[in-house]
Amino acid sequence: MRGELVFAIRLYGEAIKLAPNNGILYSNRALAKLKAMDASGCLQDSMVAATLDPTNHKALHRCATAKRQLGMLESATGDLKRAIALAKQPKERLQLQEDLKQVTADLEAQKRAFQKAKQEKEAKRAATNKSFKYKGGLTIEEHSDEEDSKDGASAVADKLQQFEMTAARVVARVQQQAPSARDAFEVQRKEALAEHAKQLHQLQQERARQQEQQQQQAHKQELARKQVKEQQQQSAVSPAAAAPPSTPAAANATASASGATQPPPATPAAVASPANSSTAAGAADPFAGMGLEEVKKKGADMFQAREWEGAKAAWEYVLQHAQPQGPLAIAVHSNLALLHVQSGAAEQALAHATAVMEATSPRDNTFHKALHRRALALTKLGKLEEAMADYRELNKLRGYSVQVENEMNALSERMCQSVPSASPAEPSTSPQQQQQQQQGQERSRKQYL
């Protein structure tokens, strides 16, 4: 504690050099000196602070406290009365009034002690004084050396006067030094501002670099999403859609050949009917009027019921309307990765899992799920080395898992049993390995959805 006070006093001294006419700095250093049991130093600084700022009631309070410790009680009462008049907070005013009562009691006791000492001194002097009478009426009295010494009150007054003179000299000196100190402070302030501007520029550059990286990452995610969408559109092409459109004449000809009667064509009024258009819109958008979270939950219910196409349609609807980089889109990408792993669309599962990993951090649990699903997709694609690398990375990030360990063991057996002539896209697996994979996928579906 003592070392901290000395350090604080030194720092206040350095601050005073920069702003020598700042009364608050002197007042704070006075408090530090008071706590360090330096009453004389506290009195000196608090008197300077009170001279520089007569409205500083804290400086007057510390001045009175130091005077009380030095025995200058009468002057301390005056300082406390001034501080009470300046204090605005009721709590501070009550504390000052309590201190004033104690100082007043000490002052009465001090006066009694000084009076008693004076009486004892006079009695002693009367007893020791000697008078000698000579011829011609000349009388010479002999006094002791103690008579020339001043009493206690006079000594206190002289000591207080010395402090006041010293404080006045300090105030006069700091007022002369204030302009030059202000210039030095201004130079240091400009240097600090320049350094701050430099750091701010560096921070802005770092933020710009991070934003550029985020934009690049977002662009990659968008490309991956488009790729997934194109693959989904290609897989959704039906033979009927691939056939060339038939004209009404051709349809009639076919109907005539088969002996069937074609219904008459719809009138323009019927085509433009609002009821018909609303019915078509409802059929085209089965999730109209539902929120994205509600659609996502509906897809999860369908997935639990093994309705793959319904879950896929719901989650793809969410992807089309959600923010590409938002948490909802990331969660749906992760769900679609698992769905495609379960349904056997390994390429699409790989694309969705990769999109999740590019948008999340390796510390996130979502990243771990995507890494696991990517390993499953790679296994289905026959990319066994890459799948094993993902499994090992998953163990490092998430720790030991019985399910992952079993899948790795099955993958190791496949890698040992694989032959060069085997096609990567259609790797041969034993019934036991297929059963283990199906069990792992089922556990993954229940655990990570």
Q: If you average pLDDT over residues 392-409, what whole number do you get?
A: 84
Tell me what pLDDT residue 256 has. 43
Q: How far is CA 256 from CA 261, 265, 447, in A?
A: 7, 16, 58
Degrees (nearest 5) of the Cα angle 77, 79, 84? Answer: 95
- Greater model confidence, 204 or 175: 204
| Cα–Cα distance measured from residue 128 to residue 345, given in angstroms and rounded to the nearest whole number | 123
**What angle do helix axes 23-35 and 2-18 make, rounded to 10 degrees?**
160
Q: Is the pLDDT of residue 27 over 90?
A: yes
Tell me what pLDDT residue 264 has. 45
Please report the sign of the dihedral spanned by the C-alpha atoms of residue 235, residue 240, residue 241, residue 242.
Answer: positive
**For the residues of 190-212, what is the DSSP string, one character each?**
HHHHHHHHHHHHHHHHHHHHHHH
Q: Is the pLDDT of residue 144 over 70?
A: no
Q: Could you report the per-residue pLDDT of 340-389, keeping only the tens digit for each?
A: 988 888 998 999 999 989 888 888 888 988 889 999 999 889 888 898 89
User: Mean pLDDT across the chain, nearest whole number?
Assistant: 78
Q: Is 1 helix (H, G, I), strand (E, B) or coil?
A: coil
**0.85 exceeded by pTM:** no
Q: Is the pLDDT of residue 62 over 90?
A: yes
**Cβ proximity of 163 and 1 under 8 Å:** no
φ, ψ for residue 142 (rounded to 5)?
-105, 125
Residue linked to tokens 């020791």? 128
What is the 8-class DSSP label of residue 132? E
Q: If you average pLDDT over residues 269-273, what whole number do you get?
A: 38
Q: Could you report the per-residue pLDDT of 404-429, keeping only the tens digit for each?
A: 888 888 888 888 876 554 444 444 55
